[in-house]
Chain A
């Protein structure tokens, strides 16, 4: 079982819609969770981090964490074509080891 699992997609949403990206992790003791965005040919950039159960909002982005279900998600409201990228979920597990998912490719259609 992989440490972090994501649906590779591709996920396509129309402009203005909500894009929902999901991630599950295997280490129940994990404490820190991150979402990165990677444009084609570029390195990943941090979008959000979340540490506590519930929702965390930052502009059009909302991260959701459910530790009981070992599930973390990222919602992008009012999706824009510029949001088209690969989104990487990352988890810092109880052993302070950092694991990335393989990423979900998102395309926002104008």
Chain B
């Protein structure tokens, strides 16, 4: 149980375009989802926390207008990188936690390359 999927697994786009990444909890209802970013050989960096039906809470230094997060249902959260630039190239990972749960389960990640 506790499976989280992400789509796409890999995306290459041109600078200035927007990219949407989906995160789904497949066998449980995720009241809270988290979005992380990880640059090569660096640690996980939490970008934002989203609760179903409410606005996401962004970490300091993360631009909410650039990284749009929608958590419209208990099984789906999306992260949209707007007007992507090469410095946004990174490994984006989501995780999910069910109601009352304390464990975070991670998706497989999405590797974004902006040319």
Question: Which residues of B pack against A, CB within 8 Å?
Answer: 34, 43-44, 46, 91, 93, 97, 102-109
Contacts and interface: CB of A to CB of B under 8 A. Distances in A.
Contacts, number: 39
A88 B108 CA distance: 16
Nearest to A31: B102
Contacts of B97: 98
Nearest to B104: A98
Contact-residue bracket for chain A: 20 to 34
Nearest to B111: A41
Interface of A: 31-32, 34, 36, 41-46, 49, 88, 90, 92, 96, 98, 100-103
A33 B43 CA distance: 18
A43 B43 CA distance: 11
A42 B108 contact: yes
B93 A43 contact: yes
What are the 5 closest A-B residue pairs judged by CB atoms, nearest first?
A102-B43, A43-B109, A32-B102, A43-B106, A43-B93
A88 B44 contact: yes
A92 B100 CA distance: 12
